[in-house]
């Protein structure tokens, strides 16, 4: 029996499905990069926190009725993961910056 705990950590996964998804679906798949392939296939590549998160992504694929062709776990994550709380905070700060960066505003945040 395999020790499942070593799989309950951040890892990058590549998932291939039969059918077409365009990039507008990336937000629905927790930021996975969506790449259309030949032969009416799509590759999704992204970082998952643990097995529960992976099963969530696979459930969304199932709910769309897309046949699963490949699920591959890469040895190490491609990027250092940041938590969802930090991602939400960054999003809110950027939204605030857009609202307050008008020429009439006394407050302004610059983002590079």
Residue 81 has a pLDDT of 55
DSSP string, 67-78: PEEEEEE-SS-S
Residue 43 has a pLDDT of 95
DSSP string, 8-66: SS-EEEEEEEES---GGGTGGGTT-EEEEETTTEEEEEEEESSHHHHHHHHHHHHHTTP
Residue 86 has a pLDDT of 73
Q: Is residue 63 very low, low, confident or very high in pLDDT (cuts 50, 70, 90)?
A: very high
Alpha-carbon distance of 25 to 19, in angstroms, equals 13
Domains of the chain: 4-79 (3.30.70), 82-112 (no CATH)
Q: Are 27 and 16 in contact (CB under 8 A)?
A: no
Residue with more model confidence, 57 or 109: 57
Share of the chain above pLDDT 90, in %: 35
DSSP class of 25: G
Given a cut of 60, whether residue 46 has pLDDT beyond it is: yes
Mean pLDDT of the chain: 80
Average pLDDT over residues 28-53: 90
């Amino acid at each position: 029996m395999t020790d499942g705990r070593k799989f309950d950590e951040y890892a990058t996964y590549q998932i291939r499905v039969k059918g077409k998804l365009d990039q507008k679906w990336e937000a629905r798949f927790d930021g996975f990069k969506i790449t259309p392939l030949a032969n009416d296939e799509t590759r999704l590549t992204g970082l998952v926190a643990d097995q529960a998160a992976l099963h969530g992504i696979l459930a969304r694929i199932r709910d769309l009725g897309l046949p699963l062709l490949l699920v591959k776990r890469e040895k190490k994550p491609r990027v250092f993961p940041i938590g969802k709380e930090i991602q939400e905070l960054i999003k809110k700060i950027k939204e605030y910056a857009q609202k307050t960066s008008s020429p009439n505003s006394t407050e302004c945040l610059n983002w590079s």
